[in-house]
Amino acid sequence: MRAEPGAGGRPGGAGGVGAGGVDDLVCGRCGHGYRARVLDRHLWCEDCVAAGRREAGRVGWMCGAGMAAGLAAWIYFVQRPSAMLLGGWIGAVLATFWLGGRAGRELAYGVLRFRHRPR
């Protein structure tokens, strides 16, 4: 990619082929040049997609763990579960951890993609 001094980044991404007909594009995350067909529709290379998913997964599990911890604290201090219902509450906490982790991962991945969107 050529740097155009003063012009700034052009918005839009439709028809990304420049004047020269060059099929090399720059990955939106790591900035390395790749063939256009190697990049996905967000202009990320495969390595960055994998790294982004890993990072989003980490954030997502932390998010799920936080939600589960909050629920567990609420159950423990507010609901004061009896031994009989404890298994059900533990299941609810685990389900929250799982679902919160998944939702947090998708959310984190979306945020990552938005932050590194092609300009």
> Shortest gap between Cβ of 99 and Zn ion (angstroms)?
30
Nearer to Zn ion, 27 or 93 (CB): 27
> Shortest gap between Cβ of 43 and Zn ion (angstroms)?
9
Does position 45 interact with Zn ion (CB under 5 A)? The reply is yes
Angle among Cα 111, 114, 118 to the nearest 5 degrees reads 155
Which residues fall within 8 angstroms of residue 118, CB to CB, at 6 or more apart? 13, 28, 42, 43
Question: Applying CB under 5 A, which of residues 25, 43, 48, 68 lies at the interface with Zn ion?
Answer: 48
Dihedral over alpha carbons 26, 32, 37, 39 (to 10 degrees): -80
Q: Which two tokens stand for residue 26?
A: 């720059």
Nearer to Zn ion, 1 or 90 (CB): 1
Interface positions with Zn ion (CB under 5 A) = 27, 29-30, 45, 48
